[in-house]
A and B are shown apart, each in its own frame.
Chain A
Amino acid sequence: MGAPAPPSSPSAPVQRTEAPAAALPAIASNDAKAPVASPGSAAPVPDAAKPPAAPRPEAAAKPETAKAATLAAASPKPATPPRTEAKQATQAKPESKPAARAVAESKSAPVAESKPAPAPESKPVAEAKAAPQAKAAAPLDLKSLEQRLKDTSAIGLMTKLSLKNQVDDLIARFRDYHRGASKVALAELRHPYELLLMKVLSLLQDGDPALAQAINASRDAIWEVLADRDKFLQLA
């Protein structure tokens, strides 16, 4: 269970900086009181005999956080979320300290040994995950999408014409809505919009998956343009 150390453990950096101390709980697992005393007693001891509390800013600020971090390190949960969870749990439930301490003491030895190595990877992995989301939210380029739709060979000529008819019909409905000429609510236009996008995507997904992906990524952005009166008028 805990054997394959997750490469992106958030608590790992902490463990890495505490490399000498990581062995401490292992020793302390035999002597159960040692790890409990270490965060609190770390401050008065100036030399390197007790390094655990010194290198970690969070632990220096809040001793409970160190326990939570140890708990997070001991838990088999995946890497990304636990740091905040551990903090929240620590701040929200101070009464759970003894239990957390017990768990940390009972499990810290083997896990602490397996965790430290992947430490530096955790932050880049999180950044790498965030990057595609940022790309997905990239500025909408309707002209480019339109041109790509015209140029794609994944859809036949008659189908393109038919799709254009349907797009024009839908835009006419939005125009009526923004003029106040229609009693249709904006929410009622969402369904035909999604339906039309589904048609386009289903036509493209096999022949031009890149374009299908680009359109799908722009789904909400296109809706915002259609739903917002000013943006819609600019478009028209």
Chain B
Amino acid sequence: MACIVRALAVAAIAITPAFAADDPAQRKDLTAVIALHGLPCGEVASYEAKDDREFVATCKDGNRYHVFVDKNGRVMVEKAR
């Protein structure tokens, strides 16, 4: 039973798709990327890292953006729901 619980716990951690992070440099980076794309944000208040190059950024003005690098190496910024 303990083994099963441990296995489930490990699996849950491994599967977790995104995690909140609070690296000021990354927030600044995301803020700059969103600004470079000419989208309203002001400043990124928090973000979730889904991958090394995929984030969901939440701006201080309430806007949320999906920031990622596509297959062609282009940085994309899309409005997140």
Contacts and interface: CB of A to CB of B under 8 A. Distances in A.
Same assembly: yes
Contacts of A203: 32
A210 to B, nearest CB: 19
Given A161-B75, A165-B75, A156 B28 contact: yes
A158 interface: yes
Interface string B41-81: 00000000000010100000000000101000111000000
A158 B52 CA distance: 10
Contacts of B30: 156, 158
A165 B37 CA distance: 11
Interface in A45-75: none
Interface in B11-50: 25-26, 28-30, 32-33, 36-37
A157 B36 contact: no
Interface string A22-60: 000000000000000000000000000000000000000
Interface residues of B, number: 16
Contact of B26 (A156, A161, A162): A156
A156 B32 CA distance: 8
Q: Interface on chain A toward B: helix, strand, loop, or mixed SS?
A: helix
B33 A159 contact: yes
A163 B33 CA distance: 9
B36 A162 contact: yes
Nearest to B28: A156
Contacts of A161: 69, 73-75
B25 A158 contact: no
27 contacts: A155-B32, A156-B25, A156-B28, A156-B32, A157-B29, A158-B29, A158-B30, A158-B32, A158-B33, A158-B55, A158-B67, A158-B69, A158-B75, A159-B29, A159-B33, A159-B36, A161-B73, A161-B74, A162-B32, A162-B33, A162-B36, A162-B37, A162-B75, A163-B36, A165-B73, A165-B75, A199-B36
Interface of A: 155-159, 161-163, 165-166, 199, 203
